[in-house]
Chains A and B, each alone.
Chain A
Amino acid sequence: MAAHLKKRVYEEFTKVVQQEEIATKKLRLTKPSKSAALHIDLCKATSPADALQYLLQFARKPVEAESVEGVVRILLEHYYKENDPSVRLKIASLLGLLSKTAGFSPDCIMDDAINILQNEKSHQVLAQLLDTLLAIGTKLPENQAIQMRLVDVACKHLTDTSHGVRNKCLQLLGNLGSLEKSVTKDGEGLAVRDVQKIIGDYFSDQDPRVRTAAIKAMLQLHERGLKLHQTIYNQACKLLSDDYEQVRSAAVQLIWVVSQLYPESIVPIPSSNEEIRLVDDAFGKICHMVSDGSWVVRVQAAKLLGSMEQVSSHFLEQTLDKKLMSDLRRKRTAHERAKELYSSGEFSSGRKWGDDAPKEEIDTGAVNLIESGACGAFVHGLEDEMYEVRIAAVEALCMLAQSSPSFAEKCLDFLVDMFNDEIEEVRLQSIHTMRKISNNITLREDQLDTVLAVLEDSSRDIREALHELLCCTNVSTKEGIHLALVELLKNLTKYPTDRDSIWKCLKFLGSRHPTLVLPLVPELLSTHPFFDTAEPDMDDPAYIAVLVLIFNAAKTCPTMPALFSDHTFRHYAYLRDSLSHLVPALRLPGRKLVSSAVSANITPHEDPSHQFLQQSLERVYSLQHLDPQGAQELLELTIRDLQRLGELQSELAGVADFSATYLRCQLLLIKALQEKLWNVAAPLYLKQSDLASAAAKQIMEETYKMEFMYSGVENKQVVIIHHMRLQAKALQLIVTARTTRGVDPLFGMCEKFLQEVDFFQRCFIADLPHLQDSFVDKLLDLMPRLMTSKPVEVVKIVQTMLRQSTFLHLPLPEQIHKASATIIEPAGESDNPLRFTSGLVVALDVDATLEHVQDPQNTVKVQVLYPDGQAQMIHPKPADFRNPGPGRHRLITQVYLSHTAWTEPCQVEVRLLLAYNSNSRLPKSPWIEGGEVSPQVETSIEGTIPFSKSVKVYIMPKPARR
C-alpha cells in the first residue's frame, strides 16, 4: 500500500512539474518542490522529534490548492509508517488544516482518514483525526452521504474511554447531524432523531468536559436549525445542579433555548399537582442560577433572563420581590416605606431608631427561604459581588422593562438604587437603561430625589447621561419639576462646563411638562402681583436656564405668557435670537415682533426662511446677465444674508453656510478676474499680482472646506466643488505665467494643470453632461489642441476660457451639516501657567465636542502651536472618541506638551484640525476600479482644515534644576 502510494506521489510530483513548466509564471515553479521537499525531509528524519520539526516548519507556509492532494498523500504515507503518536498527531492536524484550503475538495482524503481512524490507538491522535473529519465534513455541507458516514464514525467512537475523543465525536455530531428531514428518506429520518438521543445520552457522562461538549453539540444542532425535542428540557434541568460551572453555564443556555422553542407547553411542578408554562418554569430555574456559586454562570443567567419576554407578569414581578423579615416578622422594604411615605403625603421626618421595626408576625411555615421560583433574582443580581453580573442584570432589567410597562414601573426603585453603585460603568449603564425605558415610567418624587443626587457626580459622562435621561423623563408633580430645576442649577454652579447640556435638558423638561411648569412660573421669574422686581442679569447662565424651561413650556401653554413681566418679553426676544436652538418661537399676544412666528407643522419647503434661502440663491444664479460691479454687490449682499440666516435658523445653518462659501469663492474669482493686472503688460505688475494669487489660494482652501467639512455632501456637489477648485488652479496658473519670466517653469505647471484636467475628466465623466457651457466643458473641447500647444499658448487659452466661464448652479443637498468642534477643556481662562520641567512632558487634558464629523477617529487631530511657530499635530487614539448621540462625538484625550526652557510663561494654542485627503473619496466612487489606490494613500493626510476656535493655554517650561 505504502509503496503504491509512494509511486503515486512520484507520478503526481513529476506530472505537476510538467504542468508547471508549461505555465510560464515563475511563482508556481516552487510549489512542487514543496511537497517533494517535505517528502525528502520526512524520509531524512531519523527521530520522531526531527520529523516533528520538519512538519512544524512545513506548517508555517501556505500550500496552494493544486498541490494539496500531493502533500496529503505524502503525509498519509508517512502516517502509516510513523510510530510516534506526537508526529501522527501533527500529521492529523495538518490534514485538517490542508482540507480547509480553499479550492480543494477534501472528499478524496476522507476514506483514508476514516481508514486510519480505525487503526489508531492513541486517544489524542484519534481526537485530532476526528477534528480533521469535522473540518472535512464542514467543508462539504451538501454531501449527505459523507455526512451520514461521518456521523456513523462519530457514533462508533462515542464509547471511547478518553474524554477528548468523546468530545470531538459530540462536536462532530453537533456540526454534522443531519438537518433536513424532508430531503432524507424515512429510514434516515430515524437517524435524525437518533442524533439528539445519542447526544442526550451523554448529558450524564462521567466527565464534565464531555457533558459540556454534549450540551454544546445540542446547542449547535439548534443553531443549525434543527428543532430540539422538548424531552431535553428535563435532562437539561438536572444538569443545572452539576458540580462543574461550564456544564451549568451551558445547561442554562440550553434551557433558555428550549424555553424559547416551547414557551407555551405545560410542565408539572414537582411535589405538587400544579402545572405551569414551560417558559415560566425555565424562567424560575434560570432565576435560581442568578445566585449560583460561580460568577460565570451568574452572568450567563442574568443575561439570558433579559431575553425571556414571554414570561407571565406575576413571575416577572417576583424577581424583584425579596420578602424581608426580622425576627420572624414581616418587614417592609425601604422601597415600600418610601412609597408609603410618599402616598401619605408625609416627607421623611427625622427618622428615629426602630422606624423600620418589623410589624406583622409571619407564619413560619409560609416562609420559603430558598425558593425554586424567581423570587428576588434581580435583587440578588443587582447586589452581586462582581460588576459583570450587575451589569448583566441591569441590561436584563432594561430589556424586560422595555417589553412590559408594569414591570418597568416596578423595577424603577432598583434601577434608581443602581445609580449609587461603586463602579462607574454600572452607574452609567443603569442611567442609560433608565433612559431607554423612560417612556413607560413616571418618576416619583423620592425617586427623582435620588436620581438628581447623582447630578453632583464628578464624572462628566455620568452627568451628561443623566441630563439625557432627564430630557425624556416624566415627572409627576410640580414639586418634582422644581426639584429638578434646583438641582440642575446647583449642578450648573458646580460644573459650569455643563451649561449647554443643562440648557438642553431644561428645554425638553419644559416642553414635556407645560402644565407642571405653569404654577411655578411666578416663583421662578420672581414676579410679584403688585411690585415690579429687579430685572435679572441676562448673562447669568442660571437665569437663562430658567427662561429656557419656561419658554419651552409656554410653547404649548398659551396662558403662560400672561404671567411674564415686560423684561421677560425682552429677554425672550434676545434669547430667541441668540439661542434659537433652545428657545422655540412663541405666539405672544400683542407682539408684532414674533407674532408671525411659524408653527411647527410647516414643511421645510413652505418654511419662509427656506424660501428666502432659495430665492436669494436663485437671484444669484441669474448673475451672468449683470454687470460685474452689480454682480459683486449682489454676491456680497447674498453672502451676508445667508450668514445671518444660518445664525438664526439652526436647521438651515449647514445649507446657508455651504452656499455662502460657494458664493464667496465665486466672488473671489470674479474679483480676481476684475483685476487691472490683466490689462497691463506683463513685466509691470509684479506686485499687484498678490491679490489674484491670494484669491486663488483662498478659493482652494474654501473648496477643501466645502468638500470635507460638511456631512451629507453628495456627488453633484463634489463635481461643482472640484470644478471651482480647477478654476482656482487655472487662475493660479495664469497668474504665475504672467509673473514669472522664462518659459521653463511654465512647462511643468502646464503639464500639471493639464493632468488635473484629465484627472477631473476621468473622475467625473458621468457628470460632465451637467456641466454644459462650463469652464471645464470648454476646456475639454480644446483638450487635444492644448496638449500639443506651447505653454504660453495654453495659458492664453485658459485665460480666455476662465474669463468666459459661467457661474455654475450649485444644487443644494437635502441634508447638510457643517462639522464643528468646541473645545470645552482647556477653557483657556487660567492665569496660572502650567509649569513643568523643560525636556519633560506635561499632559494637558483636552475635552471637545464634535458635531457632524464623519469618521472622527481618522480625521480629527489636535494641533498645538507654540509661540515660536513650532506646530505639533497629535493623533488621538480611537478610544478617546465617544459617541453620545447621532452625529455627535466627544473627544476626551490627553495632549503631551514639551518644550525647551522659557524665560517666562507664554501661551500655546490648541485647536482641532480636520485632516482630509481628496484621494480617499475616489475609491468609493464607481468610476474608478478598485485596486489602483493603495491603502497607504487612503490613510495619508493631504491637508488639514482647522475647525474649532483655538484655545490658549498658559504654560511655563522651567529649566531643570540640578
Chain B
Amino acid sequence: IPPSRPGAGQDVGRSCILVSIGGKNVMLDCGMHMGFNDDRRFPDFSYITRNGRLTDFLDCVIISHFHLDHCGALPYFSEMVGYDGPIYMTHPTQAICPILLEDYRKIAVDKKGEANFFTSQMIKDCMKKVVAVHLHQTVQVDDELEIKAYYAGHVLGAAMFQIKVGSESVVYTGDYNMTPDRHLGAAWIDKCRPNLLITESTYATTIRDSKRCRERDFLKKVHEAVERGGKVLIPVFALGRAQELCILLETFWERMNLKAPIYFSTGLTEKANHYYKLFITWTNQKIRKTFVQRNMFEFKHIKAFDRAFADNPGPMVVFATPGMLHAGQSLQIFRKWAGNEKNMVIMPGYCVQGTVGHKILSGQRKLEMEGRQVLEVKMQVEYMSFSAHADAKGIMQLVGQAEPENVLLVHGEAKKMEFLKQKIEQEFRVNCYMPANGETVTLPTSPSIPVGISLGLLKREMAQGLLPDAKKPRLLHGTLIMKDSNFRLVSSEQALKELGLAEHQLRFTCRVHLHDPRKEQETALRVYSHLKSVLKDHCVQHLPDGSVTVESILIQAAAHSEDPGTKVLLVSWTYQDEELGSYLTSLLKKGLPQAAS
C-alpha cells in the first residue's frame, strides 16, 4: 500500500492523501490551504497522474468532513481538473459542504474579484457526484473496494473511513475528537486491525486538561459580565465551535434561569443550524435523548441578530462572525463596544497574526483602525480555547482501539510528530511513519490468503490430534491445489484423482554396512530382535524370505561381495515413511548390540 500525498503531510491545512491499496487508488480528502490566494491553495493534482484522465486512475474520493481544509478543493478537482468518479461523504457533510463552498466562493470571487475560480454551478455539479454514506454502512465501491464510515466527533458529520480491498485495509481518521463535547460525542472505532492507520496529529504533543474547567471558566466569565450589565461579544466561525458554545450557553441560561438575550449573527448560521437540527443522530447522547421533548438546537434563548440590536441597552451576548475579528460583523460590534469596560470579548480560538483578534489577545489596548482612527479597548479581553482535535492521549487511545499494524501521522508539525511517533512505536510496537508533502510511503503487507479445506481431510487430521487448541498452530498433511485464483487444501488421494494423475511411489534405499561374520540369515534375525526390542510400538516382522519389515520398511541383509565379514543391510522405505526410515538407518548405523546370544 503506498499512500502518497499531494498535500498535508506535515503541515496543517490542505489535506489530500492518495492511497493505493491492492491495486485500487483512493483519494482521501480534497482540501485547500486557507493561507494562500494563488495556485498553491489547491493540492497539485497533476502529481497524481502525469498524463491521462483522473477518473481512470482514481477509484473514489472520500471526504471526511466539511471543513474547507478537507473539502475546499473539491469543485476545482472534480469540475476544473476533471474527475467523474464517485465522491463519498456522510449525509451531514453532504448537506453542509456546499453552503461552505458557496460562501468561500463568494468571498474569493465577489469580494476579492478573483477570476478562474469555480462557479456556483460547478459546486452544484460537483455535489451531484457525491454518494452519501451512513455510519457503519459498508459501501461496495466496486467488486473489491469497500469503505465504511465511523463516527469521529470533531464537527457534525465528521467521519473516519475504513478502506478495504480484499484482506488489506486502511483507516483514515480525518480530524477527530476523543473527548465528547456539548454537542458531539467521542470518536469510536472497533478493533478492525487495519494494515495502516492514517491519523491526524494536530495536537501530537499536548495533553489537555479536563474540558469541564474550560466550560466552567467560560460560563463564569459570561455570567459575571452579564450580571454586571455588560455586553459579551464572542467572535466565532459559523460552524462547529459556534454550535457547541451556543448549546453551552443555551443550557446554562436554561439552568440558571437567566433572562439576558443571546444573539447569533445571521447568514450562514441559520441554514447550518437547520442542519444541526436535522442530524440529531450525529450529536451526543444528551441531545439525542432529549430531542423527543425538545430539539436542543431549537434555541429558546438564542435569537437572530440584527445590526440595530448592538445599540440596545442592557446586557446581551452576541455570537458574531468571523472568528478572528478581522472583518465583518464581529469587527463592527467590537468597535461599538470596545470603549466600555463593562463589556467583554471572548476569543474562543486561535487568531492569525495581523488580525485584530491577535492584537488584542497579545495585550494591545490601542488599535489603529482604517482612516487613522485610534480605538481604545477598554473592554475585557478573554481567551478560551475550545478545540475539537484529539490530544496525544486521544490519538494513542484511538491507536489502541483500532490495533493497526502500521501508523502514519499526517496533519501536524514535523517536530511534534516525531515525539508522537516515538511514543507509538514504543507503546504499541508498531511501525510509524510521518511522510512529508509529496512523499510516498510504501508498506509491504503480508496478505492472508484464504484456503479452502475439504471437510474429510480436516476431520481426519482432527481425529489424529488431541483436543483442538485455538491458539496453537497444527501440522497438517495435504495437497494445495491452486486453480483459477482459488486455493484448496485436499488430501493427496483426492488431488491425484482430480488431476488425473497416477500415484508414483518414491522409495529410498540405503545400504548399511554391518560388521558381522555370521550368516545373512542370522544377521537378519539379530537385526530383527534388536529392532523389536527398540521399536516397541511399531510392528516389526520377520518374513520367511529372511527380510525384516518395520511397518512398510523393508530391511534385507546380504553378504558383502568382497568382504564376507561385513554384511550389507539394504533398507528401503517409501517417502511417506521418511521419518521412520531415517530413524531406522541411523539406528542401524550405530551397529547391533554385541550381545551374543
**Chain A interface residues (CB < 8 Å from chain B):** 159, 204-206, 243, 291, 293, 322-328, 331, 333-335, 350-354, 364, 367, 369-370, 376, 379, 382-387, 414, 417-418, 420-423, 450, 453, 456-459, 494
In the complex, A420→B209 CA distance in Å?
A: 16
Pick from A159, A327, A333, A420: contact of B215, CB below 8 A.
A420
Pick from B215, B284, B383: contact of A353, CB below 8 A.
B383
| B210–A382 CB distance below 8 A | yes
| A243–B191 CB distance below 8 A | yes
- Closest Cβ–Cβ distance, residue B187 to chain A (whole Å): 10
In the complex, A331→B385 CA distance in Å?
A: 15
Kindly state whether residue B211 has any CB partner on chain A within 8 Å.
Answer: yes
The residue of chain B having its C-beta at the shortest distance from the C-beta of A450 within the complex is B216
| A417–B470 CB distance below 8 A | no
| Pairs across A and B, CB under 8 Å, 30 listed | A204-B471, A243-B191, A322-B209, A325-B392, A326-B206, A326-B207, A333-B209, A333-B210, A334-B209, A334-B214, A335-B213, A350-B380, A353-B361, A369-B207, A369-B392, A370-B393, A370-B396, A370-B397, A370-B427, A382-B212, A383-B211, A385-B180, A385-B186, A385-B285, A414-B210, A417-B216, A420-B216, A453-B223, A456-B255, A458-B255
| B205–A325 CB distance below 8 A | yes
In the complex, A379→B207 CA distance in Å?
A: 12
| B188–A293 CB distance below 8 A | yes
Kindly state whether residue B185 has any CB partner on chain A within 8 Å.
Answer: yes
Kindly state whether residue B446 has any CB partner on chain A within 8 Å.
Answer: no
Pick from A204, A291, A418, A456: contact of B397, CB below 8 A.
A291
The residue of chain A having its C-beta at the shortest distance from the C-beta of B190 within the complex is A293
The residue of chain A having its C-beta at the shortest distance from the C-beta of B400 within the complex is A370
| A204–B380 CB distance below 8 A | no
Interface centre among A326, A367, A369, A414 (most CB of B within 10 A): A369
The residue of chain B having its C-beta at the shortest distance from the C-beta of A334 within the complex is B213
In the complex, A204→B401 CA distance in Å?
A: 21
B427 contacts across to A, CB distance below 8 A: 369-370
In the complex, A453→B217 CA distance in Å?
A: 12
**Known interface pairs A324-B209, A334-B210, A423-B286; A383-B257 also in contact (CB < 8 Å):** no
**Known interface pairs A369-B423, A387-B285; A422-B182 also in contact (CB < 8 Å):** yes
How many residue pairs at the A-B interface have CB separations less than 8 Å? 119
In the complex, A662→B208 CA distance in Å?
A: 70
- Closest Cβ–Cβ distance, residue A609 to chain B (whole Å): 43
The residue of chain B having its C-beta at the shortest distance from the C-beta of A495 within the complex is B257
Which A-B residue pairs are the 10 nearest by beta carbons?
A334-B213, A385-B180, A353-B383, A417-B212, A206-B470, A458-B257, A456-B256, A369-B396, A353-B361, A328-B205
**Chain B interface residues (CB < 8 Å from chain A):** 179-180, 182, 185-186, 188-191, 205-217, 219-220, 223, 251, 254-257, 284-286, 347, 361-363, 380-383, 392-393, 396-397, 400-401, 416, 419, 422-423, 427, 467, 469-471
In the complex, A246→B442 CA distance in Å?
A: 37
- Closest Cβ–Cβ distance, residue B192 to chain A (whole Å): 10
| B209–A327 CB distance below 8 A | no
| B205–A457 CB distance below 8 A | no
A383 contacts across to B, CB distance below 8 A: 179-180, 210-212
In the complex, A331→B210 CA distance in Å?
A: 13
A418 contacts across to B, CB distance below 8 A: 212
- Closest Cβ–Cβ distance, residue B280 to chain A (whole Å): 15
The residue of chain A having its C-beta at the shortest distance from the C-beta of B251 within the complex is A422
- Closest Cβ–Cβ distance, residue B117 to chain A (whole Å): 35
| B213–A293 CB distance below 8 A | no
The residue of chain A having its C-beta at the shortest distance from the C-beta of B351 within the complex is A353
| A324–B208 CB distance below 8 A | yes
- Closest Cβ–Cβ distance, residue A190 to chain B (whole Å): 20
The residue of chain A having its C-beta at the shortest distance from the C-beta of B427 within the complex is A370
**Known interface pairs A206-B470, A385-B284, A423-B286; A494-B257 also in contact (CB < 8 Å):** yes
B185 contacts across to A, CB distance below 8 A: 385
| A334–B217 CB distance below 8 A | yes
B211 contacts across to A, CB distance below 8 A: 383
In the complex, A525→B520 CA distance in Å?
A: 130
**Known interface pairs A369-B423, A383-B211; A353-B217 also in contact (CB < 8 Å):** no
A333 contacts across to B, CB distance below 8 A: 209-210, 213
| A327–B380 CB distance below 8 A | no
The residue of chain A having its C-beta at the shortest distance from the C-beta of B401 within the complex is A293
Pick from B179, B257, B361, B422: contact of A364, CB below 8 A.
B422
- Closest Cβ–Cβ distance, residue A508 to chain B (whole Å): 25
- Closest Cβ–Cβ distance, residue B203 to chain A (whole Å): 9
In the complex, A331→B207 CA distance in Å?
A: 9
The residue of chain A having its C-beta at the shortest distance from the C-beta of B180 within the complex is A385
In the complex, A863→B242 CA distance in Å?
A: 49
A384 contacts across to B, CB distance below 8 A: 180
In the complex, A364→B392 CA distance in Å?
A: 13
The residue of chain A having its C-beta at the shortest distance from the C-beta of B254 within the complex is A458
The residue of chain B having its C-beta at the shortest distance from the C-beta of A455 within the complex is B256
In the complex, A351→B384 CA distance in Å?
A: 10
- Closest Cβ–Cβ distance, residue A289 to chain B (whole Å): 12
| B393–A369 CB distance below 8 A | yes
In the complex, A386→B180 CA distance in Å?
A: 9
The residue of chain A having its C-beta at the shortest distance from the C-beta of B247 within the complex is A422
In the complex, A739→B189 CA distance in Å?
A: 89
B361 contacts across to A, CB distance below 8 A: 353
**Known interface pairs A370-B396, A379-B210, A450-B216; A353-B205 also in contact (CB < 8 Å):** no
In the complex, A335→B189 CA distance in Å?
A: 31
Interface centre among A331, A352, A385 (most CB of B within 10 A): A385
Interface centre among B215, B219, B393 (most CB of A within 10 A): B393
In the complex, A333→B382 CA distance in Å?
A: 18
**Known interface pairs A293-B189, A385-B186, A457-B255; A364-B210 also in contact (CB < 8 Å):** no
B393 contacts across to A, CB distance below 8 A: 322, 369-370, 376
- Closest Cβ–Cβ distance, residue B215 to chain A (whole Å): 6
The residue of chain B having its C-beta at the shortest distance from the C-beta of A244 within the complex is B191
In the complex, A453→B284 CA distance in Å?
A: 25
In the complex, A206→B470 CA distance in Å?
A: 6
**Known interface pairs A370-B393, A385-B180, A458-B255; A327-B416 also in contact (CB < 8 Å):** yes
A457 contacts across to B, CB distance below 8 A: 255-256
- Closest Cβ–Cβ distance, residue A397 to chain B (whole Å): 14
In the complex, A418→B223 CA distance in Å?
A: 18
A351 contacts across to B, CB distance below 8 A: 382
A450 contacts across to B, CB distance below 8 A: 216
- Closest Cβ–Cβ distance, residue A437 to chain B (whole Å): 19
The residue of chain A having its C-beta at the shortest distance from the C-beta of B212 within the complex is A417
| A417–B256 CB distance below 8 A | no
In the complex, A953→B3 CA distance in Å?
A: 73
A367 contacts across to B, CB distance below 8 A: 423
In the complex, A175→B191 CA distance in Å?
A: 33
Interface centre among B207, B210, B380 (most CB of A within 10 A): B210
In the complex, A568→B255 CA distance in Å?
A: 37
Pick from A293, A325, A354: contact of B207, CB below 8 A.
A325
| B470–A420 CB distance below 8 A | no
- Closest Cβ–Cβ distance, residue A582 to chain B (whole Å): 27
In the complex, A423→B247 CA distance in Å?
A: 13
A387 contacts across to B, CB distance below 8 A: 285-286
A417 contacts across to B, CB distance below 8 A: 210, 212-213, 216
| A420–B212 CB distance below 8 A | yes
B213 contacts across to A, CB distance below 8 A: 333-335, 417
The residue of chain A having its C-beta at the shortest distance from the C-beta of B402 within the complex is A293
A422 contacts across to B, CB distance below 8 A: 182, 251, 286
In the complex, A842→B392 CA distance in Å?
A: 55
In the complex, A793→B204 CA distance in Å?
A: 104
- Closest Cβ–Cβ distance, residue B275 to chain A (whole Å): 21
In the complex, A205→B393 CA distance in Å?
A: 33
The residue of chain B having its C-beta at the shortest distance from the C-beta of A336 within the complex is B209
Known: A328-B419, A453-B223. 10 other contacts (CB 8 A): A322-B207, A325-B206, A331-B207, A334-B213, A334-B217, A354-B383, A420-B216, A458-B254, A458-B255, A459-B255
In the complex, A488→B404 CA distance in Å?
A: 55
- Closest Cβ–Cβ distance, residue B382 to chain A (whole Å): 7
- Closest Cβ–Cβ distance, residue A326 to chain B (whole Å): 5
